[in-house]
Structure 1
Amino acid sequence: MRDTLDSSKLQTALDTVHQAGMPGIFAEVRDGADCWRGAAGVADLATGRPVTPDMRHRVGSITKPFTAAAVLHRVDQGDIGLDTPIGHYLPRLVPGERGAAITVRMLINHTSGLAEYLPYAYPSLAGFPAVGKTTPESLEAHRFTKFDAIELIEMGVAAPAVGAPGGTPGVYSNTNYLLLGQLLEAVTGISAEKCITRDVIERAGLRDTELPSTPEIDGPHSRHYEAWFGMIDPPRDYSVFDMSWVSPAASLISTVTDLNRFFDLLFSGELISPSALAQMRGTVPVVSFEGEILDYGLGLQKSTLPGLGTYWGHEGSAWGSGAMSWTSADGRRQLSVAVNLQRWHRLDASQRPLPHPIDAALAAFVRLALGG
């Protein structure tokens, strides 16, 4: 039997993350009908304005489960086949043998072999994901750049393949999800953003969640501080940023409450069919940007915590903002948490991130929140 929510312990653990160096952190934890929301630290380092649990926040790649759910909804409707080659739907974007070999499923679970386009869109990130070989200069240069999804996809398709179609481990790549956005547009006749909004966000009743069309975040929100491994010192605010460079891959704005509601409805079968949800939970090994092996399904990460069990959800990062959302396998325990500093580590002589007190404090909070 799980522990009931202990507000005092949860708040102390959240405070510890702030004291370890995180400017601001806020979260919602649910255990059945019980709910706790908390915050620690500041939303603005200059003014001392505090963070609050209801703030809207860029949640990065937690966008991917929303996009995957929209695709699987179209699978349920008979408009898309999971094992149909992407070349059937988008022959101009992925032509020839690759288009015939790469299926929709391979795009969703990152086993397509298509490379990440990010280093080509941001020239100063040419070494990405080898962070020590990159610089953050083009972040400022592209703050208001409106990227074209087709051009970004072409960069990823033209780059050397990172694997054979369907091979494992897969390699995490935003190119896959930009292609899924084009797929949704091709089969519905509306933009991916409108499709995901209609078929997922609105159906779930998420009033504070959106795929933004402007660089600004509407409503109460924190500044988003990017440190880029000490190369931006002091960390710079990127809460105003055009997110067209990731769109259906990582541009979502949401709240911790909306994230918990989304995953609750997803896992209870209210957004996609039970058969589609079972497909979503079929995992393969995928190499992350950081070189770690993820247990990855169709837009979902699976995490097993010793002594606690299995959790499903996703992690996300944008420039200066981070978030994670996890739900226990039985659907009872949920955590969504957001932070307003990213890449807080310094690099060692071999250009690898050094441990930071935030790491242990955040891991301790997550474990406590998930029932530890």
Structure 2
Amino acid sequence: MTTYENVQQVLDQTVAETDIPGIVAEVRDGDRTWSGTAGVADLRTGSPRRPGEYFHAGSSGKAFTAAVLLTLEAEGRLGLDDTVNAHLPGVLDVNGYDGDKITIRHLLNNTSGLFPTGLAPEVSHRYATRSGFDRHRFDTFSTEELLRIAVSQPPVGAPGERFEYANGGFHIAGAIIEQVTGNSYADEVERSVTRPLGLAGTRVRPTAETGYPDPHPRGYSHQFLKDGADPAALTPENWQSLMEEPGLPPLDVTEFNSSAGYAAGNVVSTTSDMIRFFEAMTTGSLLPPAQHRQMWTTVSTEGGYWMPHTRYGLGLFEFDQGAPGGRALRGIAGSLWGSYFFAVGTPDGRHTVAVHTNTEWKSWDLMFKVIEAEFGISFGA
């Protein structure tokens, strides 16, 4: 059985055995490209998933933010070790934070000490339940509101002390980009990333846009709390126990306003474009050598309630087990309502697999099964 057949088997089994409606995968291995699908793009019509669909890439957009800031550093317009107060005076000087101690690097590698933004009541009370999501799915978040939310809870640690995944750090990073350049975040992503790489199917989603170009799958979500659960009681430790019971029908969440993602993840793309972007990030073909090294200077994610077996760079991650040739596999990933994407590949950019499901992240099983099928690497239980 070829590795492609192994991957297809993983896709088929995942759709058959879990509540994931559909999956599309694309593999680029040297000069060869393969695409596979399983399941449906639309539960109502039964239309199948197909290659080339547009989707929301979720937190994969963090790597776009990092790439823009590294480009600005290469241009001499800022430094990763600049403090936040050097560019946004006072924004962080509330609730126990210190903008003179938190740097841009801290924001990008999730060691700033900022709390997990998704647990902020201003966010969780809007979207935690099905009825709440339906009421608020078209709400628009301004940059100013996102910056207030980022510091609305006390720090979880000192700057540089430990890893804690925080969207708020990337919201602040996006505001720094706009302050330094005088341009919108979306314009700087286009200037520094999508245009140089020729990513014709990729862009930061405009604030007013709530749908996708065709072709695209419908998005479905089970990512809601049980009836009566208090979003204020959510913690990184207990959130799974408060989620809805399995077996309920999914909610169609295709149309919604994703402005809350901003610079922490609001990119719409395709598997082909994301492979091209990821390969540029892992090989260093977009950034100068000094900035490329910083992109892949990683920190431990241990204790940060994040993906096991990984270290985090600047918007991307590296696995702690070797790829063929003895070097660690690298990856990029993101999830939000109705969408989950990941790409994993070798550091030389020669071998990459990208996968999208039209529901949010369920567990790490799918990613690790795809890695084992395509690369022959098992991370165990």
Calculate the TM-score normalised by the size of structure 1. 0.87
Secondary structure of the corresponding residue to residue 341 of structure 1:
coil
Question: What secondary structure is seen at the aligned counterpart in 2 of 1:98?
Answer: coil
Does the alignment pair 1:366 with 2:371? yes
Q: Distance in 1 between matches of 2:211 and 2:141?
A: 16
Q: Which residue matches 2:145?
A: 151
Which residue number corresponds to residue 122 of structure 2?
121
Alignment of 1:322-341 (within 5 A): 322-341=340-359
1:201 equivalent in structure 2: 194
* Structure 1 residues 317 and 147: alpha-carbon distance in aligned structure 2, compared to 1, 3 A threshold: same
Partner of 1:46: 44
CA displacement at 1:137 relative to structure 2 = 4.0
1:55–1:222: 8 Å Cα contact kept in structure 2? yes
Please list, as runs of the form range in 1=range in 2, the aligned pairs for 1:102-181 lying within 5 A after superposition.
102-118=102-118, 119-124=120-125, 135-168=129-162, 170-181=163-174
What is the distance in 2 between the residues matched to 1:254 and 1:99?
34
Question: Which deviates more, 193-202 or 91-100?
Answer: 91-100
Q: CA deviation at 1:223?
A: 0.9
Structure 1 contact 335–370 (Cα < 8 Å) conserved: no
Distance 2:145 2:194 in 1: 27
Moved more, 85-94 or 149-158: 149-158
Range with greater deviation from structure 2 (70-79 or 326-335): 326-335
1:183 match: secondary structure: helix
Q: Distance in 2 between matches of 1:85 and 1:330?
A: 33
**Is the 8 Å Cα contact of residues 59 and 333 (structure 2) preserved in structure 1?**
yes
Q: Which residue of 2 aligns with 1:17?
A: 14
Give the distance between the partners of 1:264 and 1:290, measured in 2 at CA.
23
Structure 1: which 5+ residue stretches go unaligned?
127-133, 346-358
Q: CA deviation at 1:124?
A: 2.6
Worse overlay, 63-72 or 335-344? 335-344
Whole-angstrom distance in 1 between the partners of 2:331 and 2:161: 23
Give the letter for the 1:313 counterpart.
G
| Gapped regions of structure 2 (runs ≥ 5) | 224-242
How do 1:149-298 residues align onto structure 2 when only pairs under 5 Å count?
149-168=143-162, 170-213=163-206, 214-228=209-223, 229-230=243-244, 233-286=248-301, 287-288=303-304, 294-298=310-314
Give the Å deviation of 1:123.
Answer: 4.1
Aligned AA (1:215): T
Alpha-carbon contact 1:312-1:328 (below 8 Å) kept: yes
Deviations 1:24-79 (A, max 9, x none): 00011111111111111100011001100111111111111111001101011011
Q: Is the partner of 2:355 in helix, strand or coil?
A: strand
Distance 2:305 2:265 in 1: 14
- The answer for the alignment partner of 1:303 in structure 2 is 319
Whether the 8 Å contact between 1:123 and 1:138 is mirrored in structure 2 is no
Contact 1:124 1:136 in 2 (8 A): no
Identity among equivalent pairs (%): 33
Q: Which moved more, 1:294-303 or 1:254-263?
A: 294-303
Give the counterpart letter for 1:322 in structure 2: Y
- Aligned residue in 1 for 2:230: none
Instruction: State whether residues 230 and 344 of structure 1, in contact with CA within 8 Å, keep that contact through their aligned partners in structure 2.
Output: no
- Contact 1:55-1:221 at 8 Å conserved across structures: yes
The 1:343/1:301 distance shift into structure 2, 3 A limit, reads closer
Over aligned residue pairs, what C-alpha RMSD do you find?
Answer: 2.3
1:99 and 2:99 matched: yes
Q: Counterpart of 1:270 in 2: which secondary structure?
A: coil
The secondary structure found in structure 2 opposite 1:208 is coil
Query: Secondary structure of the equivalent of 2:197?
Result: coil
The offset of 1:10, in angstroms, is 3.0
**Corresponding position: 1:312 with 2:359:** no
Hey, which bits of structure 1, 4+ residues long, moved more than 6 A? none
Distance (Å, rounded) in 1 between the aligned partners of 2:10 and 2:308? 26
Pair 1:135–1:79, CA change in 2 (3 A): same
Give the 3-state SS of the residue equivalent to 1:295 in structure 2.
Answer: strand
Aligned residues: 348
Change in Cα spacing, 1:34 to 1:111, as seen in structure 2 (3 Å) is: same
CA shift, 1:13, in A, is 2.7
Which range moves more in the overlay, 142-151 or 361-370? Answer: 361-370
Structure 1 185/361 Cα, relative in aligned 2: closer, same or farther at 3 Å? closer
Taking the aligned partners of 1:317 and 1:252, their CA distance within structure 2 comes to 11
Is the CA contact 2:3–2:374 (under 8 Å) kept in the aligned structure 1?
no
- Listed one character per residue, the Cα deviations across residues 203-262 of structure 1 (whole Å, up to 9, x for unaligned) are 111111111110111121111111124458211111211011111111111111111101
* Inter-partner Cα distance in structure 2 for 1:365 and 1:46: 28
Aligned partner of residue 99 in structure 2, secondary structure: helix
Q: Hey, what does 1:354 align to over in structure 2?
A: none
TM-score by length of 2: 0.85
Q: Distance in 1 between matches of 2:138 and 2:60?
A: 22
Deviation at 1:120, TM superposition (A): 2.7
Letter in structure 1 aligned against 2:194: I
Please name the residue that 1:321 is paired with: 339
Distance 1:288 1:62, change over 3 A: farther
